[in-house]
Amino acid sequence: MTNELYADIQWPSPQGSAVRPRWTGQGFEVDGEIRNVLVTERGASGWSDELGELINAEVAPDRPLGLASRRHALEALARSGCAGPGKAVLEIGSANGYMLKDISQRFPGTAVIGSDYASPPLEALAQNLPGVPLIQLDVVNADLPDNFCDAVIMLNVLEHIEDDSRALMQIRRMLKPGGLFIIEVPSSPSLYDDFDRLVGHFRRYNMGDLVSKLTDAGFSIETKSHLGFFAFPALWALVQAKKAAKGSRELAADEILKSRIKVGRRSVAQEVMFSLESSLRPYVPMPFGVRCLMTARA
Query: What's the confidence (pLDDT) of residue 196?
Result: 87
Residues in the chain: 298
User: pLDDT tens for residues 244-266?
Assistant: 766 555 555 555 555 555 555 66
What value, to the nearest 5°, has the Cα angle with vertex 133 and ends 131 and 136? 145
Q: How much is the pLDDT for 135?
A: 95
Average pLDDT over residues 59-77: 86
Q: Binning pLDDT at 50, 70 and 90, where does residue 48 land?
A: low
Model confidence pLDDT, tens digit, residues 113-170: 999 998 888 998 999 998 999 999 999 998 899 999 999 999 999 999 999 999 999 9
Model pTM above 0.85: yes
Provide the pLDDT confidence category of residue 61 given band limits of 50, 70 and 90. low
Question: CATH number of the domain at 46-126+138-297, out of 3.40.710.10, 3.30.70.3340, 3.30.1300.10, 3.40.50.150?
Answer: 3.40.50.150
Q: How many whole angstroms separate alpha carbon 36 and alpha carbon 63? A: 28
Burial of 140 (0-12, 13-18, 19+ CB in 10 A): buried
Edge to edge, what strands does the sheet with 33-35 contain?
22-23, 28-30, 33-35
Residue 284 is classified by DSSP as S
151 with 181: CB under 8 angstroms? yes
pLDDT tens for residues 3-42?
Answer: 788 888 999 888 777 788 999 998 999 888 999 999 887 6
